[in-house]
Amino acid sequence: MIEAPILAVRDVGVSLGGRTILEGYSLDVGKGEVLAMLGANGVGKTTLLNCMVGLRHPERGSVTRMGRIGYVPQLFQSTFAFSVLDIVLMGRARHLGLFTAPRKADYEVAERYLELMQVAHLRDRPFNALSGGQRQLVMIAQALASECEIMILDEPCSALDYKNQAIVIATLRRLNREMGLTIVFSTHAPQHGLEVASHVLLMNDRQRYRHGSVAEVLTADNLTNLYDVAIGRAEFGMGGRFTFAPTYVQ
Amino acid sequence: MRSATATWRVSFAALDVRRRGWLVVAALALLLVFSVVYSITLGRYGVSMTNAWLILWDHIVPVANPTWSDVDANVVTAVRLPRILGALLVGAGLAISGAALQGLFRNPLVDPGIIGVTAGAGFGGTLAILMVGGGTVVLGAAFGCGIASLLVVRFLATVKGRTSTLTFVLAGVVVTAFFEAAISIIKLLADPHQKLPAITYWLMGSIAATGYSDLALMAAAIVPPSILIFMLRYQINILSLGEEKARALGSPIERVQWIVYAAVACISAGVVATSGIVGWVGLVIPHLARGLVGPDHGRLLPVSALLGAIYLLLVDDIARTATVAELPIGIITALVGVPVFALILRRLQSKSGWAHD
């Protein structure tokens, strides 16, 4: 039995000021899948993500969402000095009426996900005073507080050091394995794909892309092709684990 | 003394923001009552503090043995009280409008004038003074033109059914510039001996002519929209994260924006129609309020309203007592407000409610 995709992108084309940015992108994301998107800077990863989230209406084609979306933008900063709890609480937006403020139940949901993301101790700190890694976890807690079924993250690991990258990636894996959350994220590190993803989308240019399972699509040849830099497969020498890295180091 | 204030400040800072909000609201409400009573005693006809309290109290529970004369009662009830209440309304309305728009636009330089309504209402009023001379026509023309200018801004800013904040602000600036030029033309055309001074004084702002009928109109234009803005407090919070984020969180942002714009337009047009153009309150007060209770609009809006009311009341006290002739409040809000603003901002820099890098 084939289950209907929770997120379906059909022949999506986006134009901006007469210039075509994306053309003919089609892919399905099944429930419980984790999709990693890779591609060079400026290839349109954020544009495609915005179409999936619904922030952008593609000029051609369609995006069908069969579940609530939680969106974690790249490096979010707040203009005002809101506390961490305030920020997570705002994830409740879609469950509130036009004229209502969050109630006790909403606070409980926010606190629960702060707890789950292990950032409860930061609840009263100003959001902008947090480190990049902590901020990312708070934004994930916000998306969870919105009770999303699909979480879409725009480069959740950019500008993070190795430790924080590992924390964010481990968090995504935990959310997928334990809660069955469907996740779509963009990244520049193929290893992130290997660590959490079930599927990969390689965006070569505005109309050429490869989409499939990690095993069949995430290969050294495809990555070399994608980035136009020689990329090789590197073994860690334990348990058959490996990663992909540029081979320009002699 | 020094250490006492220091201790107080430390314990105030340590208070939970939510509880601090209530403390600030209570303190400001108390201050508001005292400012009202104090303002009643001010003026060329002396009224003692005790009598001021008793006359006010008499309206709630009749006092058995009046210690005041009929003239006292008349001065307080018929002359000073409506003007004082008018100042409170104008100050509160402008401050709430400014706070809401600063949150929506995420810009510290925004004041209610930015959406073009103030200039539009100013144009309507000056045109009415030129054509008719005065009276309720000025009120109606100012209010009508103010609301109409929001519609013009909306038309200019909406492209293919969508309005971005940037085009909205630009449209507001364009409409403001247009109406200011139109006001200049009217001033050129006006009779320099009668109409021109009338126009100039009206534009500089005054609550001098306030009686109870004016007050009722003012309240009708200011109170319901202010309540509406307060009811949207949480949606304004969400929008203050940025439009994109708010949209992704599922907030009905267009609806929230237009309700706030319409409410602010109603307040601004009402203020200009009854009291002329009163600048600075809507810009300055929200910053002070944010410094006291932070950026959550659930606390920020009421605290702004209270601070704005107290501030404009004191400004109006200066306007009517500083010199023999009446001073336009627009001048005082700028002359007094700006240096005070600069000083307080320096002290609040670290906890202004805006995030810093």
In a domain, B61, yes or no: no
DSSP annotation of B80: I
Q: What integer pLDDT is reported at residue B63 of this predicted model?
A: 83
The answer to whether residue A126 neighbours chain B at the CB level (below 8 Å) is: yes
Mutation target to probe the A interface, by most A beta carbons within 10 A, among B241, B292, B297, B349 is B241
The C-alpha of B231 sits at a distance from chain A's nearest C-alpha, in angstroms, of: 5
Structure tokens at B272: 């200009």
CA distance A156 to A143: 13
Interface test with A, best of B160, B245, B297 (most A CBs within 10 A): B245
State the Cα–Cα distance between residues A21 and B13, nearest whole angstrom.
Answer: 51
Number of H helices, E strands in chain A: 8, 11
Amino acid in position B109: L
| Run of H or E including A34 | strand A34-39
Number of domains comprising chain B: 1
Q: Could you tell me which residues are beta bridge partners of residue A10?
A: A62
Higher-confidence residue of A250 and A123: namely: A123
Do the chains contact at A101 and B233, CB–CB below 8 Å? Answer: yes
Nearest CA to A231 among A242, A244, A249?
A244
Q: Is residue B71 part of a domain?
A: no
Sheet holding A7-16, edge to edge: A19-29, A7-16, A60-65
Nearest chain B residue to A52 by CA: give it: B248
Which residues neighbour A227 within 8 Å (Cβ) at sequence distance 6 or greater?
A40, A246
- Is B25 part of any domain? no
Verify whether the Cβ–Cβ distance B249 to A100 is below 8 Å: no
Tokens of B28: 């400001």
Which residues pair with residue A245 across a beta bridge?
A232
For chain B, the C-alpha Rg in angstroms (whole number) is 21
Chain A interface, best mutation among B249, B290, B292, B301, by max A CB count within 10 A: B249
Is A94 an interface residue toward B (CB < 8 Å)?
Answer: yes
- Chain B CA closest to residue A130: B357
DSSP annotation of B327 reads P
Print the domain residue range for B186: 86-351
pLDDT of A178 higher than 50: yes
**Cβ contacts of A124 on chain B, cutoff 8 Å:** 17
Count of CB atoms situated within 10 Å of the CB of A179: 13
Instruction: Give me the pLDDT at residue B349, please.
Output: 61
Contacts of B256 in chain A (CB under 8 A): 98
Residues for chain B: how many in total?
357
Is residue B248 domain-resident?
A: yes
Q: Shortest Cα distance from B279 to chain A (angstroms)?
A: 24
The DSSP annotation for B256-310 comes to HHHHHHHHHHHHHHHHHHHH----SHHHHHHHHHHHHH-S-HHHHHHHHHHHHHH
| Whether pLDDT at A24 is above 60 | yes
Cα B20 to Cα A56: distance, rounded to the nearest angstrom: 41
Confidence of residue A65 (pLDDT cuts 50, 70, 90): very high
Residue in B231, B241, B245 nearest the CB of A99: B231
pLDDT for position A1:
47
Burial profile A41-59: b = 16 or more Cβ within 10 angstroms, e = fewer = eebbbbbbbbbbbebbebe
Residue in chain A nearest B255 by alpha carbon: A98
Chain B contacts of A125, Cβ < 8 Å?
A: none
For residue B93 the two structure tokens come to: 């309305």
Q: Which residues of A touch B246 (CB under 8 A)?
A: 93
A98 with B238: Cβ contact below 8 A: no
Q: Give per-residue pLDDT as tens, A66-98.
A: 999 999 999 888 889 899 999 999 999 999 989
**Contact map slice: B 337-356 vs A, CB within 8 A:** 351-356
Look at residue B24 and tell me if it is in a domain. Answer: no
Query: Chain A contacts of B286, Cβ < 8 Å?
Result: none
What domains are defined for chain A? 7-246 (3.40.50.300)
- Which residues does chain B have with pLDDT short of 70? 1-18, 345, 347-357
Place A186 in a pLDDT band, splitting at 50, 70 and 90.
Answer: very high
How many angstroms separate the Cα of A117 from the Cα of each of A92, A123, A129, A165?
A: 17, 11, 18, 14
Phi-psi region of A171 (alpha: psi -120 to 50; beta: other; left: phi over 0): alpha
What count of Cα atoms within 13 Å lies in the side-chain half-sphere of residue B5? 2
Which helix (H) or strand (E) is A28 found in, with range? Answer: strand A19-29
pLDDT value of residue B351: 58
Of B256, B274, B277, nearest to B117 by C-alpha is B277
- Assess A76–B contact: CB distance below 8 Å, yes or no: yes
**DSSP 8-state secondary structure symbol assigned to residue A54:** T
Are A146 and B103 a contacting pair at CB < 8 A?
no
DSSP characters for A174-229? HHHHHH--EEEEE-S-HHHHHHH-SEEEEE-SSS-EEEEEHHHH--HHHHHHHHTS
Structure tokens at A180: 């069955």
**Beta strand extents in chain B (DSSP E only):** 158-159, 162-163
- Quick: pLDDT tens for A115-164: 999 999 999 999 999 999 999 999 999 999 999 999 999 999 988 999 99
Residue of A nearest to B350 (CA): A81
CATH number at residue B168: 1.10.3470.10
Looking at the domain assignment, is residue B38 inside a domain? no
Within a domain: B3: no
| HSE-up (13 A, CA, CB side) for residue B271 | 36
Task: Please tell me if residue B102 touches chain A, with a CB cutoff of 8 Å.
Answer: no
A146 CB within 8 Å of a chain B CB: yes
Does residue B1 lie in a domain region?
no
Residue B103 touches partner A, C-beta closer than 8 Å: yes
Q: For A145, which residue in chain B has the nearest alpha carbon?
A: B249
